[in-house]
Copies of this chain bind each other. A is one copy, B any other.
Amino acid sequence: MKIICNKSALLTGVNTVLKAVPARTTMPILECILIDTTSGVIKLTANDMDLGIETTVDGDVLDKGCIALEAKLFSEIVRKLPDSEVTIETDDNNKALIKCEKAKFNIAGKDGEDFVALPEIEKTHFITLSQFSLKEIIRQTIFSISDNESNRMMSGELLQIDQDQLRLVSLDGQRISIRKISLKESYDPIKAVIPGKTLNEISKILSGDMDDDVRIYFTDRHVLFEFDQTVVVSRLLEGEYFQIDKMISSDYNTKITINKKELQGCIERASLLIRESERKPIIINVTDGSMEMKIQSAMGSMNEDIDISKEGRDIMIGFNPKFILDALRVIDDEEITMYLVNPKAPFIIKNDEQSYIYLVLPISFNM
């Protein structure tokens, strides 16, 4: 195999597929990046068996073939090469010669034929949305997946299509995060649970540009994302996701509207008095026109009043400050609205269009 390409194009490609190289594996070949030019284009692939990424690099194929190069060393070499043309040439013993200006590297590779190919995906069902939208809704929900090993479903997110509505849902047993966006077209219904790791990695690769689209293909067992010069294939989590809609009630006894930034600052300050190991609640006391936030711990005490507008009953409720902060940090609205039922029932932060819904369980407290 012999290829010539530009260093920066090669580096972009290498950095893209690097996200699918497993940190630890029992199959050494998976620690490699596959360079495959048998089809006449320079294709890079990495695969950790759950997640696979493939991307093409602009350049010339002088001699077709394929080789697997140890990902860490290869990526570091490419990163440190001068910004110029790179030649990669391999011999029959899978030795690779990497040349760039006057620098010459000789490293040992592995037979590209031994690399584990990505699964073939039948491209029938798909949706299209902008890279910006996909990246945003991942960021706005990914924080409430759980790495709880005993419940695999919680480690993924539900992606649901209903006509032109796309909904992304995550939950960890203490809270639920839901984002909904409108697509340009209507599609057949789809329900798929995508591993959180896949969503995390893909949101790092997406340009996040409004004008760049990403096409998502679904099969029963896989999802495939296609954008720019890149394809990401991931297994889906198999099984039924949680009955979200039964958990979200629209009943409430108290509705309050608050300045988001003020609330966030206040909760951040209160959090200072809680050690991470403690499960100590912050308590809010909602009365007409004002909300008092209180915390008392071994480190000291803190209280602060915030102006609110309120409908319905007074209420006093305790909660884990981290859960609310996670939600507030990804809401762009200046004012947010909270719906509360009673001190034992989950409360909800949502907007009128319900393009976001964040549900949080309260923590009981002793006065």
Contact = CB atoms under 8 A, between A and B. Distances in A.
Contact of A272 (B77, B300, B303): B77
Contacts of A113: none
Interface string A260-274: 000001101100110
Interface in A99-125: 102-108
Contacts of A273: 73, 105
Contacts of A82: 265
A107 B265 CA distance: 19
Contact of A268 (B73, B80, B104): B80
A301 interface: yes
A305 interface: yes
A9 interface: no
Given A305-B102, A306-B102, A269 B80 contact: yes
A17 to B, nearest CB: 19
Interface string A264-306: 0110110011000000000000000000000000011111111
Interface size class of A (residues with CB under 8 A): 20 to 34
A81 interface: yes
- Copies per assembly: 2
Nearest to A76: B272
Nearest to A70: B299
A172 to B, nearest CB: 26
Contacts of A108: 300
Given A81-B269, A82-B265, A300 B103 contact: no
Contacts of A105: 269, 273, 300-302
A81 B265 CA distance: 8
Nearest to A83: B265
A301 B106 contact: yes
Contacts of A73: 272-273, 299-300
Interface in A106-152: 106-108
Interface of A: 73, 76-77, 80-82, 102-108, 265-266, 268-269, 272-273, 299-306
12 contacts: A73-B273, A77-B272, A81-B269, A82-B265, A102-B306, A103-B269, A103-B304, A104-B302, A105-B300, A106-B301, A106-B302, A107-B300
